[in-house]
Amino acid sequence: MELMSTITEMGHEEVVFFHSRDLGLKAIVAIHDTTLGPALGGCRMLPYKSDEEALYDVLRLSRGMTYKNAVAGLNLGGGKSVIIGDPKKDKSEAYFRAFGRFIESLGGRYITAEDVNTAVDDMENIFQETSHVVGIPPAHGGSGDPSPFTALGTLRGIEAAVEYKYGSKDLSQLSFAVQGVGHVGSHLVRMLRETGAKVYVCDTDAGRVRHTVEQYGAEAVGLDAIYETDAKIFAPCALGGSINAETLDKLKCEIIAGSANNQLDTDATGDELEKRGILYVPDYVINAGGVINVAIERQGYNRERATHQVDRIFDICKHIFSIAQREGLPTYKTADHLAEKRIEEVGKVRRPYLPARRRPINGRHTLS
C-alpha cells in the first residue's frame, strides 16, 4: 500500500500510529473528516496478519464513520481506531490506559468508543486517562454497552425494508438468516424471534451459536450454508466483505439488511445487487444505532432520547429507498450522496474541527 497516496485518495485528514514498547501496544487512529465536528468512531482489537492489513481496515472504517455520522444527522465527523493484538491475551488495565493517553494527546479531534473485541470495561480504563471516550459505564454518566441500540436500529432498518418491499412491516411470517451472533447479532436474533419470525444463525464461535439456539429458538446452519437458506432477509452481523463475487450467486434472499460494517466488497457488488432486484440497506445507515446512542453522552445521556433518535433509522431508510427509486440509483450510492450533500452544505458554515484549548478540571482535561 502506498500510504500517502492512499490517504490522499480516501480523503483522510490525519493518521496517527501509536506504540508502547513497554506494553507491546500497537494502535492506529485514522481521522477521516471533521467538517461536522470531532471524529467519533469505535476502537476494534484484532490480531491483524500485518500492519498493512490493520491500516487498510482503519482507513476504510473511518471513512465509513464520516458517512454514517453525516446520514444519522450527528454533528460529528468520522474516525476509527484499531489495536493490533489478541483480545484474549493482550488486554489489561495498563494496556487500555496507555491507549487512553494516546487518545488524550489528540486533543479532542478523535473520540473513541466500543467496537469489535472491545467492551465497556475497556472504555472505563480508557476513561481513566481521557474524557474523549463514550460508551462508558452508567456510573460515570455514560450509556454502557451500545450493542442493544445497534441491534434496535438494525431492526428498524429491516422493518423499513420489509415495508418498502412487501407493503407491511410485519415480520412475523418472514424468515431471516443472521450471520454472526456476537453482541449485536444475538440482540437482533432475540428481537426477531420476539416478533415470531423464523431465524437461521451461524457464527465462527460454536458456543455463541449454541447459546442463541437454546436461548431464542433459532436454527443453526453452517458458515457457508447461511447464504443458501430460504430466508427472505439476509442479515450480515459479523465482519465486512461478506457480500462479494463468491457469495453473491449463493444468495436466495430478497433483502440484505444487517449490522456489519463494509458489507459490500466493492461498489460493483452493490450495482449487481441492484440489477438482481435485491434490496440492500446501506450498512452505515442501518447500523448507526450504537453511535447515535453513545453520541448523546456528550450532551448528557438520556435513554428515552436515545431510543427516539435510533427509531428514526426507519424514516432515514425509507427516505433513501424513495430517492433511489426516483433517481434510478442503487441504495448505497443514494446514501453516499445524502451524506456528501450534508457535509458540503454544513461545511459552508463550519470548518474542520480543531482542538480547543484544554483546561484541567478536578485533575482531568476538558475542552474549553
| Active-site annotation, residues | 80
Q: Strands 25-33, 43-46: parallel, antiparallel or unpaired by DSSP? A: unpaired
CA pair distance 257, 317, nearest whole angstrom: 11
Distances (CA, A) of 159 to 225, 226, 292, 304: 25, 21, 19, 20
From 301, 159, 15, 111, select the one nearest 6 (Cα to Cα): 15
Q: What are phi and psi of 83, to 5 degrees?
A: -110, 130
